[in-house]
Amino acid sequence: MLNIGIAGCGYWGPKHIRVCSEIKEARLAQVCDLDTAKLQQVRSQYPVETTTRFDQMLESGIDAVIIATPVNTHFKLAKQALLSNKHVLIEKPMTASSREAMELIELAEKRGLVLMAGHTFEYNPAVVYLQQMKKNGDLGEIYTIDSDRLNLGLFRQDVNVLWDLAPHDISIILSLMDADPVAVSARGMYHIEPGVYDVVYMEIMFANGAMGHVHVSWLHPRKIRQTTIVGSRKMAVYDDVSENEKIHIYDKGLALPSSPNGNGNGREKFSAWPPNYRYGEVVIPYISNAEPLKVEFSHFIECISKGTVPRSDGWSGLKVISILESANKSLRNESQWEPLNIKELAAVKI
């Protein structure tokens, strides 16, 4: 059984504490936070030791640590934990910069430790179902993925809405696309806190011509968590807010006639116009109600026990952060396209 320490009792920390206490393969050994009142509340709910000192928790005999603190502390705490030979799971976004992410990746690889980014939605059964559809070829070639993550609040001062909400959607889009992202464009507005964007529209261009669109907002009258995938064979809508109908699969599209010498994929010039529209059935598949955070935590424990690479490893975290950095540049540069070269970034020596 692995002994787990959890740093941070803000929004995500208590969720990790609850999940850790329910997993039989792990033991919630210690919780760390600077706020003694929050620690008192944790002790009133769970039989666990608490401390205000992160270094003390690292010395308490734990095997791994979950970092659920503000973003600007992620790198310092994760580096300290890795240097103490602890496996690390970091809440999204993994770090505040790609340089920091690269240093953590290099350190974890040198020491043979698990470094995992908390991209919870990659462990959501609905997203896993869509990933399997893509793998099976059911969606065909993916043209676009549109994601909306909107609500009224929660406002923050340490990061803008892009860094707060978009990591979820970026990780979902990256897990479904067959090509590398090559450029990012973003535009946004701030209305409440000067300089802190509370509404952002972002576009991601991929090497194969596909596009990803992300709309995030802290200023919206309804809670919306929706992703629309447009493929050459089928289309799908994933609604995370829905209780019982998470995914709708639409057998809709264009039946494009091919030229006589074409390969039949419908991407050549039309031999007739207009194209034929296909209107098929709508399928609502059964989706498991397994809690994504619990699935993610179990995967973390399994990777430590078996010495395997996490689905959302450090490199996955780096990709998301690189896109966020380029989007921030675009916000400051009047929505200009900012190039991405993650492979080149990975070659940089820390």
Q: Collapsing DSSP states into helix, strand and coil, what is residue 253?
A: strand
pLDDT score at 3: 98
pLDDT score at 53: 98
Q: Collapsing DSSP states into helix, strand and coil, what is residue 230?
A: strand
Strand order in the sheet with 87-91: 49-51, 26-32, 2-7, 64-67, 87-91, 115-118
CATH, domain range 122-283: 3.30.360.10
Name the burial class of residue 257, with classes exposed (0-12), middle (13-18) and buried (19+) by CB atoms within 10 angstroms of its CB.
middle
Q: Where are the domains of the chain?
A: 2-120+292-312, 122-283
Q: In angstroms, rounded to a whole number, what is the distance separating the alpha carbons of residues 6 and 26?
A: 12
Which residues face 230 on adjacent strands?
144, 235
Peptide bond into 82 cis (omega under 30): no
CA distances from 208 to 173, 181, 204, 253 (A): 14, 9, 12, 20
> Mind giving me the DSSP string for 267-315?
-S--SSSSPEEEEEEEE--------HHHHHHHHHHHHHHHTPPPTTBHH
Model confidence pLDDT, tens digit, residues 114-170? 999 999 999 999 999 999 999 999 999 999 999 999 999 899 888 999 999 999 999
Q: In angstroms, rounded to a whole number, what is the distance separating the alpha carbons of residues 225 and 227?
A: 7
Q: In angstroms, rounded to a whole number, what is the distance separating the alpha carbons of residues 302 and 297?
A: 9
Residues of the chain with pLDDT below 70 are 256-272, 342-350
pLDDT score at 349: 41
Q: In angstroms, rounded to a whole number, what is the distance separating the alpha carbons of residues 286 and 331?
A: 40
Q: In angstroms, rounded to a whole number, what is the distance separating the alpha carbons of residues 78 and 91?
A: 11
pLDDT score at 277: 87
pTM above 0.85? yes
Q: Which two tokens stand for residue 309?
A: 């690479």
pLDDT score at 158: 86
Only one residue has tokens 């690889």, namely: 109
pLDDT score at 334: 93
Sign of CA dihedral 163, 129, 290, 153: positive
Model confidence pLDDT, tens digit, residues 261-288? 545 454 555 556 777 888 999 999 999 9
CATH, domain range 2-120+292-312: 3.40.50.720
Residues written for the chain: 350
Please give the backbone phi and psi of residue 27, each rounded to the nearest 5 degrees, phi first. Answer: -125, 125
Neighbours of 15 (CB within 10 A): 17
pLDDT score at 255: 74
Peptide bond into 125 cis (omega under 30): no
The answer to whether residues 123 and 295 touch, using CB atoms and an 8 Å cutoff, is yes
pLDDT score at 82: 98
